[in-house]
Amino acid sequence: MYIFALLFLLLVVYLDCRALKKKDLRLFEEVFFLPLGLFLLLAFIFVAVFFFTEHKEESVSAIVLVFLLPFYLSRRYKFYRQTRMNLEQGSPEAILSGAYLAIMLFFLLETLFMVGLEVFFAPLFRYESRLEEIVVSSTFSTALSIFLVFRASRAFSSRGFLYNVALKGNNQSFIKTFLVPLAMSVVFGTISAYITIARRVQPETPLSEILEKATSIPAFIAFFAMAIIIAPLAEEIIFRGYFFEVIRRIKGERLAIYVVSITFGLLHFGQYRGDWPAILMVMAVGFTLSIIRSWSKSTLASVVGHYSYNLGVTVIPVILVFMINFPYFEYKMLGDKIPVDRKIMLLRSNIAKEPHFAEAYNELALIYAKDGQDLYGALELADKALSLEPEMLGYLDTKAMVLFKLKRFEEALKVRNRLRELNPQYQMDDYISD
């Protein structure tokens, strides 16, 4: 994902350079002239990174973001200061210039924030899990994006932020703004819930791995608050409020629908990688929200649709699980509030009712393994879960744990090696020292 983000940034810089050259080619060449010594130094750094670092993508991205981007932005500022040009509000030049600057500043400030966390705060504060790190970075990036969009949207008009991102005005009708988005969200939410419940094999995704390994309740609450309450509004303001309007004014409404929808889907790809039905559903929802935004002339309509869809894919599966599989629903809801015997009874009841539900076998195997009771039964349960979902990383981890407790170390190490082959970043449970 680093390389795609870097290529996108370089594309923005290239387009911005083209715009600056059109304004004043002679001044551009003068301001952006790169001394030979600096050029050779940068070339040496890039060669060294390419040949002597292990993580080439991350290293090259860091060089571009930490060194080259600030250099470009400083020269860009000098260019505008020397031209003394006042871009007319509402003009294509002003809108594009503001959009390019917002994107470049986002990459720069986000990088500096993450580097600052790593250098200054990491020694003082250690994350218990990857989820906490995601919550912190997502909170900052969301706030930063809204701030940058707030400033850049002034290029549209002087009628205020809400008007500029189409959250008010345009004679918004109740049917277009509320009823149609709600109907859309019910349809897509039901389809998503049905896919989730109906398929026997639940694919492992980066997001599901992070959630499985997370242990902090405050981090869970913060994450779901971000996902359900903050993200829908922020994403709609940024994508279908600001950038949709930028592209619509410059290149037309049809291109705005395609670009915003595809970008929206690609930004969610990292969360759901490995789950193609979920990725296709996000793409479909993104296109539908963009069409609704275009049809209604209102970002408020896509906000309503986005909130409703997120709520639907959260609530509808719970209702379906409650209706179809009440024992497992009770087990998940009560968690540590019930004794182990009750957990075992609920899981066995679930297995009897839904013999193809792999997660119940894995949960029961975990209970047996952690309590040290019936380890051979735990191994049989872990194998059954894996027979239903062979490459589920959490199930492989459970089997390795059971084998270690049975002192079958060679077999356990083979399973752990298989885990590393499937996902080198997977955080395994620390049960070797138990």
| Residue range 167-178, pLDDT digits in tens | 987 677 888 899
| Residue range 114-167, pLDDT digits in tens | 878 877 776 666 776 778 888 888 999 999 999 999 999 999 999 999 999 999
Packing angle of the helix pair 56-63, 36-52 (nearest 10 deg): 160
Whether the per-residue pLDDT at 432 is higher than 70: the answer is no
Whether the per-residue pLDDT at 3 is higher than 90: the answer is no
For range 317-335, the mean pLDDT: 65
For range 178-186, the mean pLDDT: 90
| Residue range 230-277, pLDDT digits in tens | 999 999 999 999 999 999 999 999 999 999 999 999 888 888 887 788
Closest listed residue to residue 263, CA positions, set 234, 249, 283: 283
Q: With b meaning 16 or more CB within 10 Å and e meaning fewer, what string describes 401-422?
A: bbbbbeebeeebeebbeebeee
For residues 358 and 395, is the Cβ–Cβ distance under 8 A? yes
What six digits make up the tokens of 423? 């996902």
Q: Positive or negative CA dihedral for 330, 331, 334, 338?
A: positive
| Of 428 and 7, more confident | 7
What pLDDT is recorded for position 427? 64
What pLDDT is recorded for position 87? 76
Highest mean pLDDT among 23-37, 202-216, 417-431: 23-37
What pLDDT is recorded for position 434? 47
| Residue range 382-393, pLDDT digits in tens | 999 999 888 788
Token look-up 């912190």 returns: 136
For residues 426 and 392, is the Cβ–Cβ distance under 8 A? no
Token look-up 């790809």 returns: 269
| Of 69 and 54, more confident | 69
Q: How far apart are CA 394 and CA 412, in angstroms?
A: 14
The pLDDT > 90 percentage for the chain reads 34
Q: Count of alpha carbons within 13 Å of 177, Cβ hemisphere only?
A: 13
What pLDDT is recorded for position 36? 66
What pLDDT is recorded for position 319? 64
Whether the per-residue pLDDT at 1 is higher than 80: the answer is no
Whether the per-residue pLDDT at 56 is higher than 80: the answer is no
CB atoms closer than 10 angstroms to residue 382: 27
What six digits make up the tokens of 222? 């913060």
What is the average pLDDT score of the chain?
83
| Residue range 270-300, pLDDT digits in tens | 888 877 888 888 899 999 999 999 999 999 9
> What are the boundaries of each domain within the chain?
2-150, 174-322, 326-422
For residues 31 and 82, is the Cβ–Cβ distance under 8 A? yes
Region 326-422: CATH code: 1.25.40.10
Whether the per-residue pLDDT at 349 is higher than 60: the answer is yes
For residues 213 and 284, is the Cβ–Cβ distance under 8 A? no
Whether the per-residue pLDDT at 215 is higher than 70: the answer is no
| Of 295 and 434, more confident | 295
Model confidence band, residue 2 (pLDDT cutoffs 50, 70, 90): low
Least confident range from 33-42, 173-182, 199-208, 394-403: namely 199-208
Whether the per-residue pLDDT at 106 is higher than 90: the answer is yes
What pLDDT is recorded for position 67? 77
Whether the per-residue pLDDT at 321 is higher than 60: the answer is no
The pLDDT > 70 percentage for the chain reads 83
Kindly compute the dihedral angle of the four CA atoms of residues 124, 226, 273, 65, in this order, to the nearest 10 degrees: -50
Q: How far apart are CA 81 and CA 58, in angstroms?
A: 33
